[in-house]
Each structure stands twice: as C-alpha cells, then as structure tokens.
Chains A and B, each alone.
Chain A
Amino acid sequence: MASAALTDSRWITRGEERTSLSRFLLWLAPWTVLLALGAYAAGLCLYFGLNQTNMDNRFAFGLWIFLDLGIIALGAGAFFTGFLVYILKRAELRPILNTAVVVGFICYSGAVGILGIDVGQPLRFWFTFWHPNTHSMLTEVTFCITCYLLVLCLEYIPILLRNRQLRKLPSFLVFEHQLHKLVPVLAGVGTLLSFFHQGSLGGLYGVLRGRPFAFRQGFFIWPSTFFLFILSAIATGPSFLMLVTATVEKVTGRRLVPQEVFRRLGFISGSLLAIYVAAKSIDTLIWLNVTSPSVGFAPWQYYIYKPFGTPILFVEIVLLGLVPAFLLTYRKTAMRRGWLLSAAVLACAGVLLNRFVLTVQTLAVPTLPFDEFLQYTPSWQEVASFGGVIAYGVIIYSLSYRYLPMFAPSKGENTNVSGD
C-alpha cells in the first residue's frame, strides 16, 4: 500500500502525538457544517434585515444579546487567569494559560461577530468611536471590548507563532520573543479593560431608569450591577476554563493538566462565587425593599408571571450560586473531579441565568400599567448564527490544540476516543 495518505505531521509540535489528519478532518466536518449554516443565517440577516429574527419592538434585545453577555462572562477566565499568573504571580496556573487565551479569543471574537449582525446598520459601526457618548455604558462597552479583542489577538499571536513551522522563520521567532516580553503588560492592560467592560455590561442594565426590574442604585455613576457583573464573571470564568479543559481531556483521552490546576481553579472560582452570592443577596434585598418601591414598582408584581416566579431568584442565588460555591471550596468535594466539574457546570449555568434574567426577563416584564407580560422565542436564524459561533470556537480550539503547544508535553495513552 502506497503511503500516499495526506499528512500534516510537520505542522504538529515536535514530540506531540496527534490523531491522523483524516480523523481530524472527520472531527471538524460536522462543526464546519454548523459553521456554514450559521454563516448562511447571518448572511440572511445581513441581506434581508433583522426581520429575519423574532426580535420586535418590545424585545429589542433577544437571544444574541443574552448569549453575548453570557460568553463574555464565561470568557472572563482569560483576563483573570492572566491577572493571576502575571500580576499575582500564581505560577501553578500556567498550564491553563494558553487555553485561557484561546478561549478568551474565541469568546470575544465570536461576541463581536454576533454584534456585527445584531445592529441594523453594520456599516455605521465606527460612529460609536467617532461620536462617543460619555454617558452611555454601551460606548464604554464598545471601546473596551474592541481594545480587549486587540489585546487578546496580541496574546494569541505568540502562541500561534510557536507553531513548529512558523517558528522556523527567524523574524517570527524574534517577534514572538519580543511579544512574549510584552505579555505581562498586556495582562495588566487586559485586566483593566476587562474590569471596565465586564462592569459596563452590567451597567447597561443597571442604569435603565425606565426598567425598574433592572434599575439599581450604586456607587457614583456605577450601579451595583456593574460590580456584580465583574464579580460573577471572575467567579465563573475559571469554572468555564475548567470545563473546557476537562472536555478537551475527555475528547482527546489525555490528561493535559495536573489535577491540582483544577482544584486551584475550583477554589478560586468557589471563593469568588461565595463573595458574589453575598453581594448579590444584599443587592437583591436593597432592590426589593428600597430601589424598586421608590420608583413606584412593588417587587411582587415582577414575579406573578409563570414560569418567571420567585423560584427564579432562589435558583439563581442558591442553587446555582451558593451550592457550587460550597462544592468548589469544601475540601471533601473539591478533591473529587466529579464534584468539581458538576459544581463548575452549576456555576456557569448560574451566570448564564443571571444574564438571561437581566436581558430577557427585563424586557418581558411590563412597565406601563396596561402592558402585558410578553413572550419571545428566537427564530432559527438567531439560533443558527449562534450555533455558528460555537462551531467557530470548536474549530479554532481544535486547530490550536492540534498545531500549537497549548499544554506542556502531555502524558497518558493515546486512546483516541474520538477526533483528535
């Protein structure tokens, strides 16, 4: 048999073993289809307009904004890990750093991509930069997210340049080395930018006087949701990283990072989550008893609509907040991988629920006394576009894992469960 099998082994990091190219392509195939479907749906929206979605004048923000806020929160692991490793010198988290950067890159570039189709006039994107409104949280978000995406690109490039073939170009090697020196600076900048935009995403809703369900008092110009969003993002970012790494380990059949890293991530996530739960509970009490009634809205009226009753508060704060915080920090459960990962899932679900409540439930809840509680179901174009982003993320990560030294040299059998 002629060994005419297509191979890309010269692109794979020396010393690493990866599955055959054909199996890899087989793995990529369904994700590529999903990506193509997403691109098609996005194309429909760009060509025909936003009437392709099920958003309307009452649900001006829908699935996309909810998922955007969600993936930016989950992608906070990127800046936070950088902060912990480079600023706080927590070297034990180094093994996860590359994953953090790539996950961050995927989350932010995906979010920016979706935002590009979520606006009615994408060609006018630059107006925010040219006519910025200093009072608007969205201006702040736009600036910081764009700058931070740039930072992530700059952090991703050194990883890219460590590819076996690219390393061979001396100018790239020098470039990569120089960039590498910049990384602590980038980490610092990234932390600052992320602090502000994670906060401003919360501020987006906290400043809405016209939506007492979301409106919060705060500190100076920043509503409490500003700080709560930062806290919830840095609390769940590490959990998300843990889940991504665990998934990659499962798919590749290898142990890629020491278990200790998981425990560390879990502990950081859990402790921050505990602080967040405390802060959120206080904030909720203030909102229920002071802020909302002061603008004429008795809190009970928000929760009379099934299934969005008061159990949602309980689920968000206790079931998906306090419980994972406990599981991630309590020694007995934190030692066990199964408990860690389950808790991480709960934590991530909690932050997604929080974003959902603030983006979707805010719009469903009536403001005028003769409004009704409204329903909204995303259209297939909205779901497919987001499916495309997920596919994009899987493809980027798969390519990064295959061709770049994402982790320290891996141990463990090449069991090849599926794909790479």
Chain B
Amino acid sequence: MSARYGMVIDLDRCTGCGSCMMACASENNVPPLPQATARTGLTPMLVRKASNGMEGGARREVFIPIMCMHCEHETPCVKVCPQQAVEVDKATGIVMQMPQRCLGCRYCMTACPYHARYFNWWDPAWPKGMEKSLNPGVASRMRGVVEKCNMCHARLHTAKEKAAAAGKREIDLADYVPACVEACPTGAIRFGNLADPNDAASKEARSPEAFRLLARIGTEPKVYYKSKEAWVRALAESKSGSVPEVKRVEAGHAEVQHG
C-alpha cells in the first residue's frame, strides 16, 4: 500500500525559533551563504511571519514554517520541468527533485506558489575542512541547480534499510522522522502518513482547525497547518480573505479572541 507522507504544523505552537531551519540545513548539506540575502538564500525550510495587519496592542503575529508542500494534484513544478527533473514518487507521495538532472532554467521556481524552491546562485562551498561535517547520506549539489525540501528522503532510505535488514516490507514510522520534526522544541511539526486513517497526523489534518495554504488553487498540498485562531486560518486564502478583528479592551491592553 502506498503511503502519502505529509505534515501538520500547529501554528499555535510555533515560536519562530528557527531550529527547524538549522536542522534542515545541517541534515541536507545546505551550504552556509554569508553573501546571500533573504531573496537569494538557500533555506529548504523557511520560517516566515504573518500578522493580523494591526498595530499597537492589537497586533498579533504568527510564525509559519514553509517548505515544499509536496502537492499531490497537478503538481505545478512537475508539470513544467522541461527535462523531468522532478517527479511525484508514487510510493510515498514525496515530490522528488533530482538536482543532477536539473538544467537550472528555474521555470519550476516561477510555477511554485509557495516559493518553496531555491536556486544555487553560488557554488556550494564550505570553509576548509568543514566538508568532514557533511551528512554522508545526502549528495551535495552544484551551482546552477534548483533544490528544495525532499522530506528528508535520506532518512526514509535509512528506515527502509533497517526494515529490510529485519526482514520487514513496511518501515516503522518511528524510524523515519524528518530533521525539522525532530528539531522542533515545542513539537509543532507533526509528520505522518496522510493515507493511513489511523495515523495521528492524518487525523489532525482532518480536524476543523486544519487548513492548507492557497487550497483553492487546487494543488492538494500535503502540508497542513492548524490553529485555533480564526485570523490565522484566514491565511489559507489570498489577501481577499477577510481578517477577523481583534477586540480591543482598552488602549495598550488587548485581549485575544480565541476561536
């Protein structure tokens, strides 16, 4: 039975610390780019910030970890890549990028509405000797190709090897934990098999507080978000969605409306 690996990220728990970003970069041999900016950086996991648009005491903010949404339907990047350097893995639902085949035309980057793809504008380079600290399970890339989150596929590979060594056909999901899920200090990122109705993440994805970003575009992303706050859930839509007001109790002291 094929799996559909996905995530549910509890935005009420994300504190915007950035541990997931660091763990992802470390696991996936992403080079440090001190010369980059927020527009040219290489961050397969990126935590962004959104607000309810108000200022002063009524302002509310939320941190939103963004990575490849592993779109299931009419996956934009898969459809547009001229040399099929990206495909949806039938067995897992993971959208797999092959940097070795990538031409670097960046069409997939224009196609992705979540801006989850990153280009190697520079040659990946580490200070002298630091290559010894690279994760041997992940191939390093080269300049001029696109890369993105691949759901820590190297860890899936390790889990498969472990299962195979024990003579099992299915992996134990406890052995396959992506780096960001492992790193989160509040447990905000939950990972699981969305195709399994008994999976905890799968159940959370079906709860009424769960939503997906830009769901109406229809790409069926497999990364869900959830929040008790209505204004956060309104972020599922583009700016046309209305943002509920925060009730002001008095100047300088506002109360949050939950629900």
Contact = CB atoms under 8 A, between A and B. Distances in A.
Chain A in direct contact with chain B (Cβ < 8 angstroms): yes
Interface in A106-144: 118-121, 124-125, 127-128, 130-133, 135-139, 142
Contact of B218 (A120, A132, A295): A295
A58 B39 contact: yes
Contacts of B213: 368
A264 interface: no
Interface of A: 49-51, 55-61, 118-121, 124-125, 127-128, 130-133, 135-139, 142, 204, 207-212, 294-298, 301, 362-363, 366-371, 374
B59 interface: no
Contacts of A366: 238-239
B123 A209 contact: no
Given A119-B104, A367-B214, A56 B40 contact: yes
By secondary structure, the A interface counts as loop
A119 B101 CA distance: 13
Contact of B235 (A124, A295, A370): A370
Which 4 residue pairs of A and B lie closest in terms of their CB atoms, listed nearest first? A120-B104, A120-B144, A210-B113, A296-B216
A57 B39 contact: yes
Identify which of A49, A137, A138, A210 gathers the most chain B CB atoms within 10 Å of its CB.
A210
Contact of A49 (B85, B118, B123, B215): B123
A131 B104 contact: no
A127 B83 contact: yes
Contacts of A125: 103
A131 B138 CA distance: 24
B80 interface: yes
Interface in B227-256: 234-235, 237-241
15 contacts: A50-B104, A56-B40, A60-B109, A120-B143, A120-B145, A124-B104, A208-B110, A210-B76, A210-B111, A296-B215, A301-B240, A367-B115, A367-B214, A368-B113, A370-B64
B109 A121 contact: no
A51 B121 contact: yes
B80 A368 contact: no
B76 A49 contact: no
A60 B119 contact: yes
